[in-house]
């Protein structure tokens, strides 16, 4: 949210305006608060448009349309003013991330969550259609996830079912890839058009990618009208439900009530907005809303609070730094920090980033805390909300508070820690047992006998490991096993022999979407179906080395003598970039459109779209481990500790500083992890928290 600027009104009807949530062609959406402390999203028509009869009529139609819908799945209209001053619509204030934000941050949703989402949205569409309306712009960015479930926003282009034209030119707005074929062709659009959009939304939710893709808008629209949706990565159980929604013939699409019945989400599927990690975001945003409602009233003659306390601008600036995603239901507008803006404080425990005046270029800033002596002498570090987890060779796990460095708990005799955000569960092994560990207390919640294993990956509620129990003496790569996890235990999902030659002993793995990708150097790569372990696609041995798989969204990157990008669902290759050194390339971190690669002594930034080079920085010695991205910085260390750890601007590669720490200058780089506008470094059992810009 932004502070009010020059020309912004201080009040609309009963609402004192606090800040700007967003703006569009017709007006701005403000956060308003009435005298009783209730907040609302207030969409105010632009002053110059309020005198235009056609624009005024369109705005009034939007107000009437929004008021006509009575459904728990939309933002409720609380006040409308059409006469006496600038017209405005005040709607229920929603605090929560949009669906596209959730998929971008957490990846595709699991099938039960998609079923719950689909059933809720179909029920809401049924309510909209029962009011004689068609939404006509359903898409992931118009769906807000709240603690009460998904809410549909933005009725700006909704129309009565019999209506067609919207503007003086007769042009019908349509979001490419979500508007139905008849809508893309400018034909009459009825309720089946919303059903088509729902199908496209559920493809995006279940795969992380659009159902229709193209290099430009016209190409996407052509695919909608003449092509076929990309459903290869949609789980089979969902595909048969979603595909009818995307029928070219509107008459063949199901009714919303039929979709609700067919989705039949299993019990507990609604936990996406109750227990899933997205719930933590929702809780924080709701807390912001409560704080706004409790903020002291403002004198109408100035921007000074009537009671003592922080200034209005300071409060709004603090809210901006908090990075809250505040959805305005009726206006369909929300504000989020731009990619090039200061990194947001998404959670209360996050640190404030450094401003340009807070550090001296070329000189490392002082730590936020540390160095603190720890028992940890291993290299694995995990960051989980307000904790940083260290792994010791003892073997034990140690949890420290990210804000102070104070030790929170110790879990004895466990190692190889992985984290499942969807279950909020740490997975760690000890001898021949897998434990489920609470990240809040460190207590072992359950145990499952696994034998001699090497952990591979965890994604959502599935844990993968290489079972070496029966092959320890032979050197056989063993079997890959998938366990289905719950808060109370684990059960075997499937077991398959490692799909490589007998002596492939350098297996690396990555899990994401509904795939487990394995690589084994010169033996290529294999993608297994997460549901049953069957081989879905391969990168053959003859194509060259395949190392270090890295999955983000619906893309997997394979390192080696060339860096290659593949579509995760079917293995179609997108692009390939040759390595500049004999040591090969590997992806160490991904941030938006940027891939951060390691190649011998080089830290490289490449485009995720086509693999093209953005910038390169050289170290004196080979890079140790993976680069770490936090805030607007990317950090890296070398195999020689005396070279220190180096921080660069993540967008340009500009060197910021090098940090050295007293200690023995022996080989072996620093261990690092980043989260919450901090970078944690571990050297010689000393843990330090560093700030970022």
DSSP annotation of 667? B
Give dist(CA 387, CA 533) in Å, integer: 33
pLDDT for res 1 = 65
Judge whether 619 lies within some domain. Answer: no
Specify if 261 maps to a domain: yes
Query: Does 169 fall in a domain?
Result: yes
Q: Is residue 73 part of a domain?
A: yes
For tokens 């009807």, the residue is 13
d(CA 17, CA 5): 11
How many whole angstroms separate alpha carbon 341 and alpha carbon 501?
49
Q: Please give the residue range of the domain that contains residue 229.
A: 1-336
* CA–CA dist 329, 144 (Å, integer): 9
Does residue 275 belong to any structural domain of this protein?
Answer: yes
Q: Does residue 403 form part of some domain?
A: no
Of 285, 270, 299, whose CA–CA distance to 328 is shortest?
A: 285
Contact 510, 549 (CB under 8 A): yes
End-to-end CA distance of the chain: 21
Vertex 141: Cα angle to 277 and 325 (nearest 5): 55
Number of domains in the chain: 1
pLDDT along the chain (693 residues), means of 10: 77 86 76 82 80 75 73 83 76 85 84 92 92 87 88 64 37 75 86 95 93 86 92 89 94 93 81 69 75 54 36 41 38 30 59 86 92 82 91 87 94 91 89 91 94 87 84 64 92 90 74 91 88 92 81 90 91 87 81 89 91 92 90 90 89 92 61 92 91 94
The pLDDT of residue 485: 93
pLDDT value, residue 302? 36
User: What is the spatial distance between Cα 286 and Cα 259, in angstroms, rounded to a whole number?
Assistant: 31
| Other beta carbons less than 10 A from residue 679's beta carbon | 27
Which whole-number Å values give the CA distances from 105 to 73, 98, 194, 208, 277, in the listed order? 23, 11, 26, 10, 10
Whether 547 maps to a domain, the answer reads no
Q: How far apart are CA 13 and CA 90, in angstroms?
A: 10
Give me the pLDDT at residue 540, please: 86
Q: Is 666 annotated as a binding residue?
A: no
Full-model pTM: 0.56
Return the pLDDT at 323: 35
Task: Tell me the C-alpha distance between 96 and 101, whole Å.
Answer: 10
H or E segment to which residue 128 belongs: helix 111-130
64-96 burial by CB neighbour count: b if 16+ within 10 A, else e? bbbbebebebbbbbbbbbeeeeebbbbbbbbbb
Would you state the structure tokens that stand for residue 312, as one six-digit string? 């209005």
Q: What is the pLDDT of residues 506-546, one digit of tens each?
A: 789 999 988 999 998 778 899 999 999 999 999 987 777 78
404 near 387, Cβ under 8 Å? no
* CATH code (residue 230): 1.10.510.10
């Amino acid at each position: 949210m932004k502070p009010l600027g020059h020309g912004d009104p201080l009040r609309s009807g009963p609402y004192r305006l606090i800040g700007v949530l967003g703006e569009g062609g017709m007006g701005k959406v403000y956060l308003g608060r009435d005298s009783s402390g209730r907040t609302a999203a207030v969409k105010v028509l632009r002053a110059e448009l309020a005198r235009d009869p056609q624009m005024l009529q369109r705005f009034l139609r939007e107000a009437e349309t929004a008021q006509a819908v009575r459904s728990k799945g939309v933002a409720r209209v609380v006040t409308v003013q059409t006469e006496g001053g600038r017209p405005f619509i005040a709607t229920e204030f929603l605090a929560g991330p949009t669906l596209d934000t959730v998929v971008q941050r957490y990846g595709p949703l699991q099938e039960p969550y998609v079923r719950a989402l689909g059933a809720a949205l179909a029920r809401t569409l049924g309510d909209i259609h029962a009011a004689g309306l068609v939404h006509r712009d359903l898409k992931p960015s118009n769906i807000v996830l709240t603690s009460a479930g998904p809410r549909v926003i933005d009725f700006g282009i909704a129309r009565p079912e019999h209506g067609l034209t919207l503007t003086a030119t007769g042009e019908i707005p349509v979001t490419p890839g979500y508007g139905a074929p008849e809508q893309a062709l400018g034909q009459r659009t009825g309720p089946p058009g919303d059903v088509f959009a729902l199908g496209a939304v559920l493809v995006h939710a279940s795969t992380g990618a659009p159902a229709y893709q193209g290099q430009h808008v016209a190409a996407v629209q052509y695919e909608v009208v003449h092509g076929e949706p990309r459903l290869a990565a949609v789980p089979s159980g969902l595909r048969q439900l979603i595909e009818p929604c995307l029928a070219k013939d509107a008459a063949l699409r199901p009714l919303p009530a039929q979709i609700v019945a067919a989705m039949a989400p299993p019990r507990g599927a609604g936990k996406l907005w109750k227990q899933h990690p997205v719930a933590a975001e929702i809780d924080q945003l709701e807390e912001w809303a409560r704080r706004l409602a409790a903020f002291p009233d403002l004198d109408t003659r100035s921007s000074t609070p009537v009671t003592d306390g922080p200034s209005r601008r300071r409060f709004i600036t603090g809210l901006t730094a908090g990075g809250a995603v505040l959805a305005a239901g009726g206006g369909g507008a929300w504000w989020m920090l731009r990619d090039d803006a200061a990194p947001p404080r998404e959670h209360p425990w996050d640190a404030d980033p450094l401003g340009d005046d807070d550090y001296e270029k070329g000189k490392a800033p002082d730590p936020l805390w540390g160095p603190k002596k720890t028992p940890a002498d291993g290299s694995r570090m995990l960051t989980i909300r307000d904790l940083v987890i260290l792994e010791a060779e003892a073997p034990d796990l140690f949890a420290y508070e990210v804000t102070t460095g104070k030790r929170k708990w110790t879990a004895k005799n466990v190692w190889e820690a992985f984290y499942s955000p969807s279950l909020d569960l740490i997975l760690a092994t000890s001898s021949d047992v897998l434990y489920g560990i609470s990240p809040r207390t460190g207590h072992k919640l359950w145990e499952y006998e696994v034998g001699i294993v090497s952990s591979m990956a965890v994604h959502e509620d599935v844990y993968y490991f290489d079972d070496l129990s029966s092959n320890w003496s032979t050197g056989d790569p063993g079997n890959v096993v998938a366990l289905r996890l719950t808060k109370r235990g684990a059960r075997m999902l499937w077991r398959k022999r490692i799909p490589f030659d007998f002596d492939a002993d350098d297996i690396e793995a990555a899990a994401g979407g509904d795939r487990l990708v394995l690589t084994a150097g010169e033996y290529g790569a294999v993608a297994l179906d997460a549901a049953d372990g069957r081989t879905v696609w391969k990168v053959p041995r003859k194509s060259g080395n395949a190392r270090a798989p890295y999955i983000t969204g619906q893309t997997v990157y394979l390192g080696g003598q060339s860096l290659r990008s593949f579509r995760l669902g079917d293995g179609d290759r997108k692009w390939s970039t040759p390595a500049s050194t004999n040591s090969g390339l590997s992806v160490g971190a991904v941030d938006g459109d940027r891939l951060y690669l390691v190649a011998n002594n080089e830290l490289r930034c490449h485009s995720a779209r086509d693999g093209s080079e953005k910038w390169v920085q050289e170290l004196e010695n080979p890079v140790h481990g993976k680069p770490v991205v936090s805030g607007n910085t990317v950090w890296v260390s070398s195999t020689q500790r005396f070279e220190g750890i180096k921080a660069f601007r993540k967008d340009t590669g500009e060197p910021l500083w090098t940090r050295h720490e007293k200690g023995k200058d022996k080989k072996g780089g620093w261990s690092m992890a980043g989260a919450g506008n901090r970078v944690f470094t571990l050297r010689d059992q000393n843990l330090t928290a560093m700030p970022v810009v």
